[in-house]
Structure 1
Amino acid sequence: MSTSSIVIIIVNIFITVILAVGLTPVFVWWERRISAFMQDRSGPNRCHIGPFRLGGVIQSFADMLKLIFKEDFTASHIKYKFFFTIAPVIVFFCSFLTFAVIPFADVLVIDGKENIMQAIPNQLGIMWFLAFAGLSVYGIILGGYSSGSKYGLLGSIRASAQVISYEAAMGLAIISMIISYGSIHLTDIVNAQAGTYFGVVPMWGIFIQPLAAIIFIVCSFAETNRAPFDLAEGESELVAGYHTEYSAMKFGLFQVGEYAAMSASSALIVTLFFGGYQIPWLDTQAIQSNIIYVISAIVIILPIKIYFFIRWMKKNNRAIGANKSREKETKVLTAVFSSIAVFIMIVLIAFLITGLGTNGVNIATAVIQVGTFLIKFFMMAFVYIWVRWTVLRFRYDQLQMLGWKVLIPLALLNIVITAIFVVVRGS
């Protein structure tokens, strides 16, 4: 294996770890700030290290440290301590591994050798996601059952019933996508979304299969146990459901697993229905052919974005009374972000002057596509948070009715319509 291939594998694994697990404190902070904005309050903004508050994100790291050093208490009435201990580990690893097959960019060719931009390149594609998404519920069931608590047991029963009903509809929605694209490999599916309809509308899955997209997104909310489908841990009914008896990092693993599942679902939704790493109207070949113009556009747009971001930061970090720490933080962060922007612009301009070469063009294209994927990924994660703090929790009977009587029949109907269309078009 060449050095370039090893470097690419390490980069893919690093991106996967950061997006699936490393962003958990940031997502916790982001969720708190968005919910505070919707409820017309400030949210976490007091915790700091010296003059640095970073908009309140320090609070999330403080909470993480609290969980690490907190006493790991196991109640005496818990009989199955092995299952009680391993349950959050199962949830965490299954949620984390679902991210492993997400392609961040098109196949990267270095010195004539193709490198797949996934953490774990394999032939299973979408089936890998379904397998580990289905296995994660076993951790929830074990956690609730082994807790010896009626609330935990009820939470695990609800989770098992929920995952059966919604995974069936999710699988049927994916069948429609497989029929449309003719492949289970996620890179092939993303590349099939590179074209346009009538030269204007991108050939994204959301436009090819709008019904399947709605069904899949709804089922993804249920799969991740997030509101409005968080019946397994409904505070108003079950205290905390399946993780009522957990504390310290056992509880922390459940929380990290939930955000890892949200990250994996967001990435898969983007990959299947929003073009993945594809830029609208610019496929991989178009980017490579016009790389000079693309880089020039980035050089022009980047300082404008940084300027408006710094203005927003200064507006929200004004000094309060005699406390000047916010202004100090703003000055430091302004210098940091400005330096990063200048460095990136210098590198890009140097590439334009000296030329990239074949490998350089391919690498630059991959970097642009990874950036495109990340923008879409964070937008979808925002939708998850937005829905959680907007839509009320479903009643348990309403949740089951929606799964069995609405989503599954619609998914079956969509498969029939898709199959008929594919056969007629093929003939």
Structure 2
Amino acid sequence: MSTSTIIITIINISIASLLAVGLTPLFVWWERRVSGFMQDRTGPNRCNIGPLRLGGLIQSFADMLKLVFKEDFVPSHIKYRFFFTIAPVIVFICSFLSFATIPFADVLVIDGKEHIMQAIPSQLGIMWFLAFAGLSVYGIILGGYASANKYGLLGSIRASAQVISYEAAMGLSIISVIISYGSIHLTDMVNAQTGTYLGVIPMWGIFIQPLAAIIFIICAFAETNRAPFDIAEGESEIVAGYHTEYSAMKFGLFQVGEYAAMSASSAIIVTLFFGGYHIPWLDTQAIQSNMNYVIIAIMILLPIKIFIFTKWMKKNNKTKGNGDQLREKETKILTIAFWGLCLAIVGLLAVFLVTGLGSNGVNIATAVIQVGTFLIKFFLIAFVYIWVRWTVLRVRYDQLQMFGWKVLIPLALLNIAITAIVVVLGS
């Protein structure tokens, strides 16, 4: 195995690990702040390390450390301790592995050798995601059953009812997408979304398969067990459902698994329906052919965005008569840090413009730009997940079943028939 292959493999695994698990503290903070904004309150913003509060982000790291060092209490009435212990691990591992085949950029060519930009270079593509995303529910069912608790058992039963409500519709919606793209490999699916309609509208999956996109996104929300489909835990009805008896990092693994599932679902939605790593109207070849112009555009836009962000930060971190000087110190530190990073990036890009990148350099720069594009779309979809959670009320499990079997499945079957007819007539 060549050195470049080892390095790229490590980078891919690191990106997947960061997005699937490493962003959990950020998502927890983001969720708290968004919910606070929607409910007209501040949210966590006091926990600090010296002058650094990072808008309350430090609170998420404090909560994470609290779970790590908290007593791991197992109730004495639990008989199946092995299953009780392994359940959150199943949820975490399955949610984490469902991210493994998501492509972050187009195939990277270095010294004539192709490298697939995903953590596990498997050809299974969307089938890998469906397999592991579907398996995670077994951890929820097992955790509730092994808890020997009525609330936990009710949560397990609800999870079982939920999975049969959306899984069939999700699989059927994917069939229409596969027919349209002609491949199950996710990189091929993303590359099939290049080009435009009428020279303006990107050929994204959301425009090619709008009905399949709606069905899949609804089912993906149900897959993550988040509101309005947090039926299995329903804290206002059954305390905490399947994780009522869990504490410390066993409870933490359930929560990390939920955010990992949200990350994987956000990534797969971006990949299937929003052009993946492609910039609208610019495919891989277009970026490589116009790399100098792309670099100049980044050099212009990056300082503008940093200027706007730091201005906003200064406006929101002003001391309001309470004698708190920490925010002003934090603002100064962060402003210097952001501008230092910005100048370093702009300087590096200027060096590239002067000296040239070469063939490998252009390919690597293209991959970096595409990873950045993927991340922007990924965070936007993740924000929608958080937005919906604090906007839509929880549905009942029987309502989800009726909606899944009477609405989503018939629509998915109709969409398959229409897609097949269009593809056959167009071939």
User: What TM-score, normalized by structure 1, do the two folds share?
Assistant: 0.99
Q: Distance in 1 between matches of 2:163 and 2:33?
A: 30
Partner of 1:295: 295
Show the counterpart of 1:189: 189
- Which amino acid in 2 is paired with 1:356? L
In structure 2, give the amino acid aligned to 1:376: K
Q: Which runs of 5+ in 1 are unaligned?
A: none
> Which deviates more from structure 2 when the two are superposed, residues 396-405 or residues 129-138?
396-405
User: Match for residue 339 of structure 1?
Assistant: 340
Residue of structure 2 equivalent to 1:104: 104
CA displacement at 1:398 relative to structure 2: 1.2
Q: String of CA shifts for 1:208-264, please: whole Å, max 9, x gaps.
A: 000000000000000000000010000111100000000000000000000000000
Question: Does structure 1 conserve the Cα–Cα contact (< 8 Å) formed by 2:141 and 2:242?
Answer: yes
Following TM superposition, by how much is the alpha carbon of 1:316 offset from its aligned partner in structure 2, in angstroms? Answer: 1.2
State the identity as a percent.
Answer: 81
Aligned residue for 2:211?
A: 211
Number of residue pairs aligned between Structure 1 and Structure 2 = 426
Q: Confirm whether residue 235 of structure 1 aligns to residue 216 of structure 2.
A: no
- Which residue number in structure 2 is paired with residue 113 of structure 1? 113
Q: Distance in 2 between matches of 1:148 and 1:408?
A: 35
Distance 2:248 2:85 in 1: 12
Shift of 1:5: 1.1
SS at match of 2:59: helix
Q: Is the 8 A contact 2:20 2:96 kept in 1?
A: yes
Per-residue deviation at 1:396?
2.1
* Cα deviation code 1:293-312 (max 9, x no counterpart): 00100000000000000011
Give the Cα–Cα distance (whole angstroms) in 2 for the partners of residues 13 and 182 of structure 1: 27
Task: Give the structure 1 partner of residue 365 of structure 2.
Answer: 364
- Deviation digits for residues 35-94 of structure 1 (CA, Å, limit 9, x no counterpart): 001111100001111111010000000100110111100001111000000000000000
Structure 1: distance between partners of 2:370 and 2:6: 20
> 1:16-415 alignment to 2 at 5 Å?
16-320=16-320, 321-415=322-416
Structure 1 residue 399: Cα displacement: 1.3
Q: What code does the residue aligned with 1:277 have?
A: Y
For residue 318 of structure 1, report the CA deviation from its aligned partner: 1.0
SS of the residue 1:99 aligns to: coil
Q: Deviations over 1:272-313 (max 9, x none)?
A: 000000100000000000000001000000000000000111
For each residue in 1:341-374, what CA deviation from the matched residue of structure 2 results, as whole angstroms up to 9, or x when unmatched? 0000000010000001000000000000000000
More moved, 134-143 vs 315-324: 315-324
Cα displacement (A) at 1:395: 1.9
The residue type paired with residue 413 of structure 1 is L
The answer as to whether partners of 2:137 and 2:163 remain within 8 angstroms in 1 is yes
Q: CA deviation at 1:123?
A: 1.3
Per-residue Cα deviation, 1:364-402 (whole angstroms, up to 9, x for no partner):
000000000000000000000000000011122211111
* Aligned residue type for 2:71: E
Distance in 1, Cα, partners of 2:32 & 2:403: 29
The structural deviation recorded for 1:2 is 1.2
Give the Cα separation in 1 of the matches to 2:236 and 2:328. Answer: 42
Q: CA deviation digits over 1:119-142, x for unaligned, max 9? A: 000111100001101111110010
Q: Is 2:101–2:125's contact at 8 Å kept on the other side of the alignment?
A: yes
Question: SS state of the match for residue 381, structure 1?
Answer: helix
| Stretches (4+) displaced over 3 A | none
Distance 1:217 1:322 in 2: 47
- Report the aligned-residue RMSD: 0.6
Structure 2 CA distance, aligned partners of 1:232 and 1:323? 43
1:203, distance to aligned residue in structure 2 (A): 0.4
Deviation at 1:322, TM superposition (A): 1.7
Alpha-carbon distance between aligned partners in 2 of 1:183 and 1:160, rounded to the nearest angstrom: 31
Q: Normalising to structure 2: TM-score of the pair? A: 0.99
One-letter code aligned to 1:164: I
